Structure 1
């Protein structure tokens, strides 16, 4: 392919985090993609809760971030194609697994790109978290008629609620925010429980399940208490699925309880990029087929220049907050 005819002019606009809780917007020259890459003119990028620890400035974090850094939920249109890329063309609308997507453009290896069909035209599609939800759901092994407790109803918990309910499971949603529980009910949860008192929740789930507790319990918070609660709500020979992002140190578990009940514990996080891409492709199919409808969950939208507000909203979670998008 002769790339000399492809667009080069223009500027790359990107967010940089120079210090905890601060952003700068920078502009640099816009290069062509390397061999095997495509360049994506981004329509937007989802804001991930995993950004919040770097945003707070832990000791291990290095500032300033690279331009666009931390953004990994981008989607948009290919506007340049590198040497040797086949099957992808300029103008194609795609989601991609990239890592500098708080920007006007990002670059992706051709095998880290997922085409978006015409049915999704003009729909925001942060592919990485949707792919995570599909991969977690697959590892939950949820069947019709099973009882599933989901602890933590943020974006991920809401998606898993919908996937489980549409697969025929009875879903018990547990969250500290009443507004999030209302979302869970709209996504198909049969019961909704406020996450306020450990023992009260256990007793309520025990009554709802005639003393059997739950076939599957998904922990989607990333804190110690939800892990403790999840084990208590898992029935004998049930499955506890860890979907929460635990990034603030070690955890303790009640190994006696885990042993006694003989539960299976699944860490549903992935690191293989190919698995992420498979999940993103599965998410596209699930949306097209009607098994997944994430669009009502995109509650807050910000321009790139307000990335700091988007991150703060993701941290503080105002009343109706579920998911923030940075849109270009």
Structure 2
């Protein structure tokens, strides 16, 4: 097998090793596609060259080559996606209880289960009723995914917020009713009024992963509304806006540490993919080979107007 490993700041190398052997509850897959995730940008930027190499990639789609003794429900040739690691490789082992079949007829790069499972699980704990006024703050990959997933709950108004005009245009194309830059929000989305006439959204989904975006999202929620923090806030302290307390806002932590819940959410999300109610097609904008992992991270970090999501294809 070949795999990419991180050997220094922003520097990876491809090496060769024996194929891994699946354990009793594992499957060995030939990796077909692996998404490039923002949660890996920190190690890629700062890896200590004096430390051991680090392997990245956890958004996998692969074809089963072999199954462990207690994973015999999977057969060689099955195309699966799920929760795993070390995905920037030609081969990987995955927990047989954390993979699901890719829907028939769906391109592997458009069937990556882990990211959409994260979004679906967060939304499962966020009460979006038909007719609700919903806002998505941050219209990168995660935010645009949330626009698609929120749309199916039949909101009365779905608003996207992002400083990038290209991202706002994408959100409108994917079903948002309105899209604004943060500093161009209408006054009624900024001003505090009585609850009976408050025009701010009752549900706000934050997908920026940045303190400024979290602040914007918090300011938009009307009294007794819900703020779901989906963005990946992986460094520093995100200060709580105490106005949320005074507004009696319910704050939902969009992160889920439980694999069972994530696999259940992934099953629901893949059903949506199969039914063409969620699509990666407008989100996967860049494709890379195994030798181009560093370029994939550079492209993601620069995030030009044509970028949404990159995937490494094997």
User: Residues 176-203 of structure 1: CA distance to partner in whole angstroms, max 9, x if unpaired?
Assistant: 21111111001100111113x3xx4362
* Matching residue of 2:312: 326
Q: 2:73, 2:14 → 1: CA distance?
A: 34
Task: Give the Å deviation of 1:122.
Answer: 5.0
Of the three residues 127, 137, 141, the one matched with 1:155 is: 141
The answer to whether the aligner puts 1:33 opposite 2:22 as a matched pair is yes
User: Residues 198-230 of structure 1: CA distance to partner in whole angstroms, max 9, x if unpaired?
Assistant: xx43626358x9642011011111111111111
Q: 2:129, 2:122 → 1: CA distance?
A: 14
The answer to whether the aligner puts 1:167 opposite 2:170 as a matched pair is no
Query: Any gaps of 5 or more consecutive residues in structure 2?
Result: none
* Matching residue of 1:8: none
The answer to whether the aligner puts 1:82 opposite 2:68 as a matched pair is yes
Task: State TM-score, norm by structure 1.
Answer: 0.89
Q: 1:104, 1:42 → 2: CA distance?
A: 5
The change in CA–CA distance for 1:180 and 1:119 in structure 2 (over 3 A counts) is same
Q: 1:289, 1:124 → 2: CA distance?
A: 13
Task: Give the Å deviation of 1:166.
Answer: 2.7
CA contact (8 A) 1:240 1:266 kept: yes
CA contact (8 A) 2:25 2:71 kept: yes
Task: Give the Å deviation of 1:71.
Answer: 0.5
Number of residues of Structure 1 aligned to a counterpart in Structure 2: 309
The answer to whether the aligner puts 1:65 opposite 2:53 as a matched pair is yes
Q: 1:117, 1:318 → 2: CA distance?
A: 31
* Matching residue of 1:223: 210
Q: 2:231, 2:305 → 1: CA distance?
A: 21
* Matching residue of 1:49: 38
Task: Give the Å deviation of 1:96.
Answer: 2.1
Q: 1:253, 1:242 → 2: CA distance?
A: 12
User: Residues 85-125 of structure 1: CA distance to partner in whole angstroms, max 9, x if unpaired?
Assistant: 23111100100211110110110121011112323255532
Task: Give the Å deviation of 1:77.
Answer: 0.5
* Matching residue of 2:78: 92
User: Residues 156-192 of structure 1: CA distance to partner in whole angstroms, max 9, x if unpaired?
Assistant: 1001111112321121101121111111001100111
Task: Give the Å deviation of 1:267.
Answer: 0.5
Query: Any gaps of 5 or more consecutive residues in structure 1?
Result: 1-11
Moved more, 236-245 or 25-34: 25-34
The change in CA–CA distance for 1:58 and 1:193 in structure 2 (over 3 A counts) is farther
User: Residues 41-95 of structure 1: CA distance to partner in whole angstroms, max 9, x if unpaired?
Assistant: 0101000011111111178x984434xx220001020011112223111100100
Of the three residues 234, 238, 263, the one matched with 2:249 is: 263
Q: 1:25, 1:58 → 2: CA distance?
A: 16
The change in CA–CA distance for 1:58 and 1:247 in structure 2 (over 3 A counts) is farther
CA contact (8 A) 1:202 1:232 kept: no
CA contact (8 A) 1:202 1:233 kept: no
Q: 2:188, 2:164 → 1: CA distance?
A: 17
Q: 2:300, 2:149 → 1: CA distance?
A: 23
* Matching residue of 1:15: 4
Q: 1:103, 1:227 → 2: CA distance?
A: 35
The answer to whether the aligner puts 1:186 opposite 2:170 as a matched pair is no
| Moved beyond 3 Å, runs of 4+ | 61-66, 121-124
Task: Give the Å deviation of 1:126.
Answer: 1.5
Q: 1:16, 1:145 → 2: CA distance?
A: 48
How well do the aligned residues superpose, as a CA RMSD in angstroms? 1.9
Task: Give the Å deviation of 1:318.
Answer: 1.3
* Matching residue of 2:93: 107
